[in-house]
Structure 1
């Protein structure tokens, strides 16, 4: 049917479109998690960082396996690859070759690629374990304080203030000697840990304990703030009326609703703890050579900055890369979980 509006040149064409009864248009909704994943995948920088992060984690998992199979030999010395003075590697760029793609370290001639791969394993193990303990302590205390309120909230708040008032570096240096000695004795007597090197395990455990002991207050504060806005909602009241126990309210009702900020904090804690482990090695605390970590390799390379710049540059670049990609993944996760935020 054709219709003309008087006084205008507009014509409206109306057509009859048959509607088929058997045609059904289905609209599929997406959950908040699916929307967050879609937003994260749309961020190219975050996706590139995520792929690099997965690659780094795979290298950390594969390194001990390759060492056990004899593919990597991080402690095998190649004195023939050193110069006449027995210190600096022969050839350009720290002795880089097909057999040693990253060259060898000065003094002992050990393959730097093998040592860096195993160093990623050691540093990531410390960082991830410290992060898990930090989040567990902070999340539990934050939920208890925010949900209970009153006296419990005040006590947890004072504990947080007291923990933040301690100088972390000073406590690290003061406790490193006696605590590590006690840990080594306990590890030696504990059944099933005989295959560990006692000194390495004790030093690594001490760093993890220090990181977790002084790192949980910010997590507790973030979780407490989220819980304060959740505890008065209808589903919490419904769970109370149904007779839900305290533990169910904490871990079944409240915890699933605060995972988003905790997840973002985890992605930011890991690179911070990797950097902290490297810094602790400069202070003489942490896993000692010959077991490699990013911290003790970088600390050792400072002595050869002029004689072998490659030995200093490669560990530093690798440490910077790991910290940057983990931080970018954390930023991407924050933006994906909170669409109102902008990087």
Structure 2
């Protein structure tokens, strides 16, 4: 029989010695990993910087106009040639006082008008995007989670909306719808004739973009929900007696925010282009209130007399759309590293 070792013979484990060569690795959440991947993409970071500058320009433009720093409505006939159309000087009248030149026929500062145009176009695009995403996300969650006849009904409704030609509906409904909206806005105190007209036209474009823009969002969200509803945490929430509302907005919605966020970054430039196209067709906010679309439409009449008047707004619109799309591509790659651009 072996006797137990004495207390002196018992080996006491020594305290662990810290080794400077051991690198401590801190765990990071999926959001932190996505941000790190996005920041590692130089092109996406450059695009994000330009996007922030565009947003700041849109925010500051109305403030600068109210402070009389920018004068998008001031006529400067002395900056035009004797024919009253062509700007004085080279490249459309570009100078230190007017870095982008002046508008042919009026002499209005083009930089001021473009900055205020960004405000109008971006506001319409953002509001339409929010409405589109809310409608598409809610219907996509309901259809994907409920299944059965609810899913079929929402799917057929999506097909019905997609079957309508958006541009033709826009042109056909423009006059009567805008008239109804203006009549409703006429009773609002403190709203002038010009403001009510611009607000009515802007609301009409937002409604058209949202009504015809939500079906793709609903389909994307529905596809995500079909896989999420079979997960264990959904079954656990059901066993705990969670209501439908909680299942939709507390359990499912946080797990579909990534594709929705990517879709938001792609919808904004698409709606900016759509607003410009609608204004170019004569539907939307009318001059003298500037938007990128109505400036481009007006510049077509002066392509030979002042090519810069057409070139600068066109390049600006193209840059805004491209950088927003690049930010969306970067967000998609960061949130889904398996996807390739």
Candidates 3, 17, 22, aligned match of 1:20: 17
Q: How far apart, CA to CA, are the structure 1 residues paired with 2:150 and 2:175?
A: 35
Candidates 241, 261, 264, aligned match of 1:263: 261
Q: Does 1:66 find its partner at 2:64?
A: yes
Q: How far apart, CA to CA, are the structure 1 residues paired with 2:166 and 2:18?
A: 71
- What is the CA distance between 1:190 and its match in structure 2? 3.5
Alignment match, 2:11? none
SS in 2 for 1:227: helix
- What is the CA distance between 1:218 and its match in structure 2? 0.2
- What is the CA distance between 1:194 and its match in structure 2? 5.7
Alignment match, 1:325? 323
SS in 2 for 1:197: helix
- What is the CA distance between 1:27 and its match in structure 2? 3.0
Q: How far apart, CA to CA, are the structure 1 residues paired with 2:77 and 2:202?
A: 30
Q: How far apart, CA to CA, are the structure 1 residues paired with 2:172 and 2:100?
A: 37
Candidates 49, 52, 58, aligned match of 2:50: 52
Structure 2: unaligned runs, 5 residues or longer: 1-14
Alignment match, 1:9? none
TM-score, scaled relative to structure 2: 0.93
Q: Deviations over 1:85-136 (max 9, x none)?
A: 0001010000011111101000000000000000000000000001000000
Moved more, 23-32 or 228-237: 23-32
- What is the CA distance between 1:242 and its match in structure 2? 1.0
The equivalences for 1:146-185 within 5 A come to: 146-185=144-183
Q: Does 1:304 find its partner at 2:302?
A: yes
Moved more, 274-283 or 22-31: 22-31
Q: How far apart, CA to CA, are the structure 2 residues paired with 1:149 and 1:229?
A: 12
TM-score, scaled relative to structure 1: 0.92
Structure 1 segments of 4 or more deviating over 4 A? 21-26, 191-196
- What is the CA distance between 1:26 and its match in structure 2? 4.2
Q: How far apart, CA to CA, are the structure 2 residues paired with 1:62 and 1:237?
A: 49
> How many pairs were matched up?
326
Candidates 280, 303, 307, aligned match of 2:278: 280
Q: How far apart, CA to CA, are the structure 2 residues paired with 1:342 and 1:177?
A: 45
Candidates 72, 79, 82, aligned match of 2:80: 82
Q: Deviations over 1:69-94 (max 9, x none)?
A: 11001000100000000001010000
Alignment match, 2:94? 96
Moved more, 114-123 or 280-289: 280-289
Q: How far apart, CA to CA, are the structure 2 residues paired with 1:150 and 1:105?
A: 59
- What is the CA distance between 1:232 and its match in structure 2? 1.1
Residues 191 and 241 (structure 1), Cα distance of their counterparts in 2 relative to 1, 3 Å cut: farther
- What is the CA distance between 1:188 and its match in structure 2? 1.5
